[in-house]
Amino acid sequence: MIAHSGAIRFRLLGPVEVWTGDGWAKIGAAKRRAVLAALLVHRGEPVSIDTLIEELWPDGPPAKAANLVSIHIYHLRKLIGDAEGQVLVTRAPGYQLVLAPGELDADRFAALVTGGRRALGGDTPERAAELLGEALGLWHGRPLADVAATALVAAEADRLEESRVGAEELFAEACLACGRYAEVVPRLRRLLADHPLREKLWALLMRALCGAGRQAEALEVYDQARKTISEELGVDPGAELRQLYQQILDADGEQAVVSLAIPGPPPAPPAPTPAQLPADISDFTGRSGQVDQLRELLAEVAVADGSPGAVRVVLVVGPGGQGKTTLAVHAAHLLREEFPDGQLYASLLGATQSADPAEVDRPRRRTRHRAGPAAAARQRLLRGADHRPPLAARTGRWRGPRPGCAVRRRGPGTVHQDRR
């Protein structure tokens, strides 16, 4: 039985290699490397035999291709000491590689970069540089370097390379925050040789040179960046790079070094505004007095006792089939602009059948989950439903022990207010 230790056992941040217990071993057969690469890319999920066949023979499979795949699987299991198939598992419709966290170098790299980014955002650049340096130390070449570049392999290699360059930028940012300016200059120059159109790298190099007291070189770097970007893309550098150049020209070296810091997480998208009211009827007539009364009661910002933000609950009571829900929904549509945080609707099914309290409360809970407690606290609810006794049990959770008033319609043209 194989014990999952959490130590790296598979490497693809360079040539594909496996840990045998005695050291790292390369995989001699190209087809076998391709099988393992496909399983590593799809780690944790089954890979069909048909997919493996397409990866191995993109121009058309030989006879008994499935048998050849099983032979490669056998040799891979033997190489990693997995005779019982606990890591390289047979799972319909093919095979699955089951790894513990950290057993693949790419996963370990991603975890370290996440930690480094968090440390940098938390104003601990020394810790960020340590984590990011460890992450970048896992690389030993182009990812999947010795595997035939099928569409799957090429896409994964490009993704991993992009993540490496992003980690290099974070590492340089952390080093600048620690005052290690000269250390990152040669590293950034090497990166720019491979990625000359990444303005972020040009900016980091300019800031490193400026921090090291080499402002003249920083200005020369801007000229190189402008020329390269213009020749390749036909445009000038972006606003941030131009601003940095101007700061250096103005001899504001300190400001230039701290500018263009790695941004924090993007702001959360605005919470969706709930709009759950049923459609209003186009030819609503009559009940103008009740409509005006509902609008007047619900449009007030605060109650008479001066409690701003108090929740006012209006209950429309009467026999079933008299149009209470239609009245409430119509009034709610007229009041929508008074409640920009949204409108909720829940049917209590009073005249037909008893409603499940969990189902009644579902719209409120769903909206609170999406919008967050602060937004949910600002929302108002105009309810229209066919109620039946006991009213206190059905409406208590909406009134609550808070300032406001409850309004009950007891008959045509009569309104009773209970001050709460």
In 3-state terms, the chain is what percent helix, strand and coil (to 5)? 50, 10, 40
Whole-number Cα distances in Å, 243 to 185, 257, 258: 20, 12, 13
CA angle in degrees (0–180, nearest 5) for 278-283-284: 70
- In DSSP notation, 95-117 reads EEE---TTSBHHHHHHHHHHHHH
For the chain, residues with pLDDT lower than 50 are 1-3, 253, 259-266, 301-306, 308, 369-420
Structure tokens at 419: 């001050």
pLDDT at 402: 39
For residue 390, give every residue at least 6 positions away whose Cβ sits within 8 Å of its Cβ, in sequence order, or none. none
The amino acid present at 132, given as its one-letter code, is L
Q: Which helix (H) or strand (E) holds 409?
A: strand 405-411
Q: What is the CA radius of gyration of the chain?
A: 33
Quickly count helices (H) and strands (E) in the chain: 16, 11
pLDDT in the model for residue 270:
60
Indicate the pairing of strand 405-411 with strand 414-419: antiparallel
| Amino acid, res. 189 | R
CB 165 within 8 A of CB 191: yes
Supply angle C-alpha 401, 403, 406, rounded to 5: 85
Q: What is the pLDDT of residue 16?
A: 96
Model pTM above 0.75: no
Residues 47, 90: Cα–Cα separation, whole Å: 10
Beta bridge partners, 19, equal 24
DSSP at 337: G
- Separation CA 251–CA 248 (nearest Å): 5
Residue in the block written with tokens 């040539």? 15
CA 63 – CA 30 distance, rounded (Å)? 19
Query: Residue 37: what pLDDT?
Result: 96
Confidence at residue 5, expressed as pLDDT on a 0 to 100 scale: 56
Residue type at position 125: P
SS3 assignment, position 24: strand
